[in-house]
Amino acid sequence: MNALEIKNLHKSFKSSFLIKQYHILKGIELSVQEGEIYGFLGPNGAGKTTTMKCILNIIYPDQGDILLFGKSSRQASSRSRVGFLPEHPYFYDYLTPEELLSFTAGLFSMSSAEIRKQSAELLELVGLTAKKDIKLKKFSKGMVQRVGLAQALIHNTDFVILDEPFSGLDPIGRKELRDIIISLRESGKTVFFSSHILQDMEMMVDRVGIILDGKIRKEGKLTELVSQGVKYYEIVFSGLDAQLAGAAEWTSQDGHYIIRHTDSNATNHSIRLISEHKGVIHSVTPIRRTLEEVFLEELNHA
Amino acid sequence: MLRTIAYNTFKEAVRNKVFYLLVALGVVAALSSIIVSMLTIGDKVKVLKDVGLASIDFFCVLIAIFTGINLVYKEIDKKTIYNILSKPISRSIFILGKFLGLALTLLIALASMSVIYYLFLWLAAGTVDIKIVVYFFLLYLQLLIITSISLMFSSFSTPILSSIYTISLYLIANVTWTFNTFKDQLKGTLETVVSYFFYYILPNFEKFNIKNQIVLKMDLDAAWIINAVLYAVCYTGALLLLSILIFNKKEFK
């Protein structure tokens, strides 16, 4: 079963004068399989947060269906297996992290024993055990983000939705969050997160959906998206004259020659020639498109 | 879930210093009735009761209005609503939880003020009237109606506008009974219908008014009290339902 399935999702907002309608989502179609990390990629204003708010019934779709573990997102119970971290999270700042976790756990009807156990574990996970009795109003943005992640995981969540989770985190915080997200996948959880930081996404996602102007422009496994676009093959060799390797152009570095072919047949031909001339092949590397390049290509097409 | 929302609302209210200030001012105002009674010629105990009860009444209404108007608005303004609505709770549970949390806060505020006032009355007058408990009970019912009015306005309006609407309705609620008098004297059908409409639609706090019976030591009518309880339950229920309907339609961009 899919953790999330969105079919033909449309959403418009009226301007304050009720005359003009802004069509934000224009038929979003996507699915998130159980146990995967799904990266929801798009520039600012593409509709990422609007989609997430529709999923969580914070705003209502004009058209389309959203299913969470097979249940319509209009039912409150569909969110019983979902944890959510909003972008720029705001929590009751008169509470301490421990109280916030206890409050959140209460909304999932967890028992006192479960709450104590989960709270202690999660505060440890996000590195806030020492600050569990300090009111949130005294916390920095990064620390609030950590508490936000802890509350999203409080009920041993099966499906975690994170809206721009890396914003506001320092490099160490980002590394820690990446580790946490990967560990969630390892423990069988599903993660759906939005970001425009491609580097973070490329390092851990299984599948990516690229949203532009309210539509999913590309969706697929990260490996497929980037391997579809092998830009060229790079051969590094030595021990023979570069002209004999069957390439019109080459570069040299530290006594090694580097040639590039965009075609795999030409690459095979060069490898054969280098071997026949008793040359030494140091490496043959397919240089793939990065996620950033895939993203920018889509952006240019849009 | 309902208990969690209610308890947290209560916690938020009692962690606000303004709450303690209003309770303290209520107590001080009620106790100051002794000064007024000392300046009075005649029945000093009557003045003690009159001024004391009016003071508690006034400050409890202030707490109900100024806490109520922020109940939902603050959640939207501070965006804490995203965190709540993303959990498996329905919007109606959220509204009911908020209402119950404030109802509990008002109960604590009223109980604190009334216990201190009761003790003071006992020390000052040497006697206490058990009927004052009924007065406080009926005052509490009025506070529940005020809370549900401010909660309803809070679900779609700003605190300033909500406070204007709620205070206006509170003031009107104290004179709604006059529409009943009008309708008997009016001849035209339209005027009578309008009077009926306002009399039954607007909150009517005359139904809870037993101040004269208490101050003048008259007997209380049980049927009157039952009628007041039923009125409060129906009126509060209807307003909560309306708040839920408004809140269910609302989107949080």
> Closest chain B residue to A88 measured between Cα atoms?
B79
Q: What pLDDT sits at residue A229? A: 64
* Whether residue A133 is found in the same domain as residue A264: no
* Whether residue A146 is found in the same domain as residue A235: no
pLDDT band at B238 (very low <50, low <70, confident <90, very high): very high
Distances (CA, A) of A240 to A249, A256, A270: 15, 10, 12
Q: What pLDDT sits at residue A278? A: 87
The CA distance from A217 to the nearest CA of chain B, in Å, is 24
In this structure, is residue A217 part of a structural domain?
yes
> Closest chain A residue to B77 measured between Cα atoms?
A90
* Whether residue A143 is found in the same domain as residue A285: no
A258 contact B CB<8A:
no
Residue A281: beta bridge partners? A237
pLDDT above 80: residue A25:
yes
* Whether residue A274 is found in the same domain as residue A208: no
pLDDT above 70: residue A221:
yes
In terms of C-beta distances under 8 Å and separation of at least 24 residues, what long-range contacts does A222-228 make, across chains too?
A222/A39, A222/A291, A225/A291, A225/A294, A226/A288, A226/A289, A226/A290, A226/A291, A226/A294, A227/A288, A228/A289
* Whether residue A92 is found in the same domain as residue A130: yes
| Alpha helices in B86-186, H assignment, sequence order | 91-125, 131-154, 159-173, 177-185
Higher pLDDT, A155 or A296: A155
The residue-averaged pLDDT of A191-207 equals 83
* Whether residue A132 is found in the same domain as residue A246: no
In this structure, is residue A298 part of a structural domain?
no
Q: Order of strands across the sheet with A82-85?
A: A82-85, A159-163, A190-195, A37-41, A207-212, A215-221
A vs B, Cβ pairs < 8 A, gives 74
Token pair recorded at residue A144: 């609030």
Rounded CA separation B142/B132 (Å): 15
* Whether residue A284 is found in the same domain as residue A135: no
Tell me how many degrees the CA angle B124-B104-B207 measures, rounded to the nearest 5. Answer: 70
Task: State the total domains in chain A.
Answer: 2
Summarised one tens digit per residue, pLDDT across range B139-177 is 999 999 999 999 899 888 888 898 899 899 889 888 877
The CA distance from A164 to the nearest CA of chain B, in Å, is 15
Beta-carbon separation of B90 and A76 below 8 A = yes
* CATH code at position A30: 3.40.50.300
Q: Which of B80, B84, B253 sits opposite A13 (nearest CB)?
A: B253
In this structure, is residue A216 part of a structural domain?
yes
pLDDT above 70: residue A16:
no
B233 contact A CB<8A:
no
The residue-averaged pLDDT of A30-40 equals 92
Q: What pLDDT sits at residue B97? A: 94
- SS3 state at A66: strand
Beta-carbon separation of A94 and B15 below 8 A = yes
pLDDT band at A247 (very low <50, low <70, confident <90, very high): confident
Identify from B10, B83, B249 which residue to disrupt to test chain A contact, counting A C-beta atoms within 10 A and taking the largest count.
B83
The residue-averaged pLDDT of A54-64 equals 92
* Whether residue A161 is found in the same domain as residue A45: yes
Identify from A66, A90, A111, A141 which residue to disrupt to test chain B contact, counting B C-beta atoms within 10 A and taking the largest count.
A90
* CATH code at position A262: 3.30.70
Q: What pLDDT sits at residue B104? A: 94
In this structure, is residue A295 part of a structural domain?
no
Q: Order of strands across the sheet with A256-261?
A: A251-253, A256-261, A230-238, A280-288
Q: What pLDDT sits at residue A161? A: 94
Q: What pLDDT sits at residue A277? A: 87
* Whether residue A169 is found in the same domain as residue A188: yes
pLDDT above 80: residue B112:
yes
Q: What pLDDT sits at residue B145? A: 94
Q: What pLDDT sits at residue B118? A: 82
* Whether residue A99 is found in the same domain as residue A193: yes
* Whether residue A163 is found in the same domain as residue A127: yes
Determine phi and psi for A207, rounding to 5 degrees: -135, 155
Q: Which of A256-270, B56-70, B201-215, B239-253 has the lowest mean pLDDT?
A: B201-215
Identify from A92, A98, A108, A156 which residue to disrupt to test chain B contact, counting B C-beta atoms within 10 A and taking the largest count.
A92
The residue-averaged pLDDT of B30-39 equals 75
The residue-averaged pLDDT of B104-117 equals 89
CB contacts of B81 in chain A (<8 Å) are: 58
Token pair recorded at residue B19: 């709450």
Domain end point (choices A226, A257, A274): A226
A272 contact B CB<8A:
no
Q: What pLDDT sits at residue A100? A: 92
Q: What pLDDT sits at residue B11? A: 87
* Residues of B (14-53) whose Cβ lies below 8 Å from A: 15
For residue A250, what are the domain limits? 229-289
Q: Which residue from B126, B140, B124 is spatially nearest to B33, judged by alpha carbons?
A: B124
Higher pLDDT, B32 or A159: A159
B86 contact A CB<8A:
yes
A17 contact B CB<8A:
no
Rounded CA separation A67/A79 (Å): 10
Q: Order of strands across the sheet with A63-68?
A: A21-33, A2-14, A63-68, A71-72
pLDDT above 70: residue A18:
no
Q: What pLDDT sits at residue B241? A: 95
In this structure, is residue A198 part of a structural domain?
yes
Rounded CA separation A154/A125 (Å): 11
In this structure, is residue A239 part of a structural domain?
yes
pLDDT band at B5 (very low <50, low <70, confident <90, very high): very high
pLDDT band at B96 (very low <50, low <70, confident <90, very high): very high
pLDDT above 70: residue A302:
no
A15 contact B CB<8A:
no
* Percentage of residues of chain A with pLDDT beyond 90: 29
pLDDT band at B232 (very low <50, low <70, confident <90, very high): very high
CB contacts of A53 in chain B (<8 Å) are: 82, 252-253
Q: What pLDDT sits at residue B70? A: 82
Q: What pLDDT sits at residue A19? A: 66
In this structure, is residue A202 part of a structural domain?
yes
Domain end point (choices A208, A226, A244): A226
Identify from B8, B18, B252 which residue to disrupt to test chain A contact, counting A C-beta atoms within 10 A and taking the largest count.
B8
Q: What is the pTM of this model?
A: 0.81
pLDDT above 90: residue B80:
no
Domain end point (choices A181, A201, A226): A226
Q: What pLDDT sits at residue A227? A: 64
* Whether residue A17 is found in the same domain as residue A141: yes
The CA distance from A299 to the nearest CA of chain B, in Å, is 25
